[in-house]
Amino acid sequence: MIQKKVKFIAGALICLCYFLPAEAFKLRNPVQTRAVASFSTLIPQAQFNKLFPLRDKFFTYPSFLKAVQNLAQVKVRIEKRGPFIYKITRSDKRTGKETVVRQDKDWNESWAQQKEYSSVTIDYGLFCNNQDLKTNQKELAAFFAQVAHETRNGRDGQFNDGLMLKRELDTVKNYVVNNVIYPALPGKKYYGRGPLQLSYNGNYGFASDCIYGDKNKLLSDPDLLLKDPVVSFETAIYFWMTPQGIKPAAHDVINGKWKPTAAEQAKGWSAGFGLITNIINGAIECNKGETVAPMKNRMAYYQYYLRAFGLTDTKNCSCGSMQPFP
């Protein structure tokens, strides 16, 4: 069942990304063909259906592939001055067009230009697309495991109940916080929706900026995640690929790109499936030993999906001794 979660809130008052050196944009049309082709091979429809036998009919295989195809055309550069001043540039690989979709009003102020500058580039076309079949399968197993746990509605140990729920069960709370850049619209609720339970108005707005280049698409209609399965899957891929505050991207963790510092190692943070659980729901499930049921369920799902791909992974799968991300 879906657990109550502590979610990262993106926006003007909250730090978004763990920033890495900027990368140059490489605008090449073949990315789309390569990404789509790899997914039809990586996860054929028959296998997808077998892994999610009780899924809601809303979550179709074609909608998942379409979400992968759409986001394969998007690259985002997030620049920051100091902790809270952002500029987001979105690139469409099909046209080569770069568009500034967010630039905070203080970005060009002289005092802001004296702040520490950092930048990260996110290529959503790299989702499970590292040109190495086993690495791609391992990432997809980790993604499916987290998705299955977040959307399950059945019995432990059956591994057949993923993608059954489109939203969290408790919709009473609004999940609204004050946010200058991504304000909640009157009457809208931003509770968890989609395969990875996108929550809070700040996250809806930031995801909308990155995915569509328009913050209002999801801010004004958060129920799009319940009406359009492609949109729903797109938000899950976005969440998987995008660093959050000091949290690295799940994509970078499972592929070994993220390397912990000595200070991070002292907190028990190490690359592996356990750190992804920490990213998603660490305050609830991590640093509480090895018997926490939700954490164990995520791990069990991961092992189940790994076996489906003929893989094994036993390194750093638990977050039982990891300090939660703040």
State mean pLDDT over 166-195. 96
Work out the mean pLDDT of the chain and round it to a whole number: 90
Q: Which helix (H) or strand (E) holds 320?
A: none
Does position 96 have pLDDT exceeding 90, yes or no?
yes
pLDDT band at 130 (very low <50, low <70, confident <90, very high): confident
| Phi and psi torsions of 322, nearest 5° | -90, 135
Does residue 294 contact residue 3 with C-beta atoms inside 8 Å?
yes
What percentage of the chain reaches a pLDDT higher than 70?
89
For residue 195, the cross-strand partners are none
pLDDT tens profile 255-276: 999 999 999 999 999 999 999 9
For residue 92, the cross-strand partners are 74, 97
pLDDT at 35: 53
Least confident segment among 32-46, 203-217, 285-299: 32-46
pLDDT at 244: 85
State mean pLDDT over 180-193. 97
Does position 45 have pLDDT exceeding 90, yes or no?
yes
Which residues are annotated as catalytic? 150
Q: In Å, what is the CA distance from 110 to each residue of 38, 81, 107, 115?
A: 47, 11, 9, 9
Please state the separation of Cα 49 from the chain's center in Å.
Answer: 22
**Looking at the domain that runs over 30-308, which CATH code has it been given?**
1.10.530.10
For residue 198, the cross-strand partners are 193
Q: Are strands 97-103 and 85-92 parallel, antiparallel or unpaired?
A: antiparallel
pLDDT tens profile 165-178: 999 999 999 999 99
Does residue 239 contact residue 196 with C-beta atoms inside 8 Å?
yes
Please choose, from the candidates 306, 234, 249, the residue with its C-alpha nearest in 3D space to the C-alpha of residue 280: 249
Spatial distance between the Cα atoms of 37 and 225, rounded to a whole number of angstroms: 25
In this predicted model, which residue has the larger pLDDT, 132 or 138?
138
| Separate counts of helices (H) and strands (E) for the chain | 13, 4
Please choose, from the candidates 218, 198, 179, the residue with its C-alpha nearest in 3D space to the C-alpha of residue 280: 198
Least confident segment among 24-38, 98-112, 132-146: 24-38
Q: In Å, what is the CA distance from 212 to each residue of 94, 218, 243, 289, 309?
A: 14, 9, 18, 40, 32
Domain boundaries, the chain: 30-308
pTM of model > 0.85 = yes
pLDDT band at 138 (very low <50, low <70, confident <90, very high): very high
Q: In Å, what is the CA distance from 157 to each residue of 168, 249, 297, 300, 306?
A: 21, 28, 8, 8, 15
Does position 284 have pLDDT exceeding 50, yes or no?
yes
pLDDT at 4: 43
Residues 6+ apart with CB under 8 A from 62: none
Does position 253 have pLDDT exceeding 70, yes or no?
yes
Spatial distance between the Cα atoms of 158 and 160, rounded to a whole number of angstroms: 5
pLDDT tens profile 5-42: 444 444 443 333 333 333 333 333 333 444 555 788 99
pLDDT at 245: 82
Does position 210 have pLDDT exceeding 50, yes or no?
yes
